[in-house]
Amino acid sequence: MQREEKQLELTLEALISQVADLKNSLVSFIYKLENEYDRLTWPSVLDSFALLSGQLNTLNKVLKHEKTPLLRNQVIIPLVLSPDRDEEIMRQTEGRVPVFSHEVVPDHLRTKPDPEVEEQEKQLITDAARISPDGAQKQIQSLNKMCSNLLEKISKEERESESGGLRQNKQTFNPTDTNALVAAVAFGKGLSNRRPPGSGGSVQSGQPGAGAIIAGASGMQQVPMSSAPAQQQPMLAGVQMAQAGQPGKMPSGIKTNIKSASMHPYQR
């Protein structure tokens, strides 16, 4: 009997230690959610959930250990109920339970859920027993299909959102080239003042080809044109097309015979 009591005490101490660690982790996580939500990151939340999950698994291992006595066989009976404030209970419960009266005892010492919760649980168990294995399998497949479609839609939305963000952030122009183009159009910055040969206007002497153009112009002769038709000769024969006075051109060997138009072919 003493051995069982000793084992029960050790088990309770281990459970109290595990529950205290779990409570501290929950308090820390709730504090982060309430006070550090603006800088809380998703990896930090996942780390907190992983810590809580590990502590719950450790607590279950302690409860399922072969040396742990069956706590369901133990009965807890309140020995003293008082409506007055109890400082010891305040210290043990960290201020959550100020008194240990007949109002709070059913809630704190209950080992079963509320009667309403028990009725709902029984109803769910009855409804689950009515479903055949084939019907349950069909419902499972339908639920899995719905979950797969939902996950696919969520993944598609995430990909579209990421691609849209990349398109918005991607730079499609060069700021340096744009500024240079605007400066050239608005203020003429970077443009050359030289004009190509043959263009209208004055030709500067510093441009290439200007000397050749001036030299060619000095060798040209101005030929006066007579407008009186009476001064024309009646017949021109053996007129050469080339002028000997123009330098730089070869005389043409083609000769043209021009007959006078005064001799009509039907005159007798």
pLDDT in tens, 185-224: 888 887 776 666 655 544 444 444 444 444 443 444 444 4
Of the ranges 15-24, 51-60, 82-91, 159-168, which one carries the lowest mean pLDDT score?
159-168
Side-chain-facing half-sphere of 20: CA atoms under 13 Å: 9
Report residue 177 as tokens: 């080239």
pLDDT score of 256 more than 80: no
pLDDT score of 2 more than 80: no
The confidence band for 24, taking pLDDT boundaries of 50, 70 and 90, is very high
pLDDT score of 109 more than 90: no
CA dist 172 and 181 (Å) reads: 16
- Decide: 260 and 235 in contact? Cβ < 8 Å: yes
* pLDDT the model gives residue 74: 79
Cα angle, residue 230 at apex, residues 226 and 234 outer, rounded to 5°: 105
Domain ranges of the chain: 1-74, 77-111, 114-161
Report residue 153 as tokens: 């839609």
pLDDT score of 68 more than 50: yes
Under DSSP, the state recorded for 193 is: -
- Alpha carbon distances (Å) from 256 to 148, 240, 261: 99, 7, 15
Mean of pLDDT values over 10-20: 89
Of the ranges 90-94, 212-216, 252-256, which one carries the lowest mean pLDDT score?
212-216
Distance of CA 96 to the CA centre of its chain: 48
Give which of 30, 26, 52, 50 is closest to 40, Cα–Cα.
30
- Decide: 55 and 22 in contact? Cβ < 8 Å: yes
**DSSP three-state, residue 238:** strand
Mean per-residue pLDDT over the chain, rounded: 75
The CATH-assigned architecture of domain 1-74 is: Up-down Bundle (1.20)
Percent of the chain with pLDDT over 70: 68
Concatenating the DSSP letter of every residue in 44-85 gives: HHHHHHHHHHHHHHHHHHHHT-TTS--GGG--------BSS-
* pLDDT the model gives residue 176: 86
Give which of 55, 53, 50 is closest to 19, Cα–Cα.
55
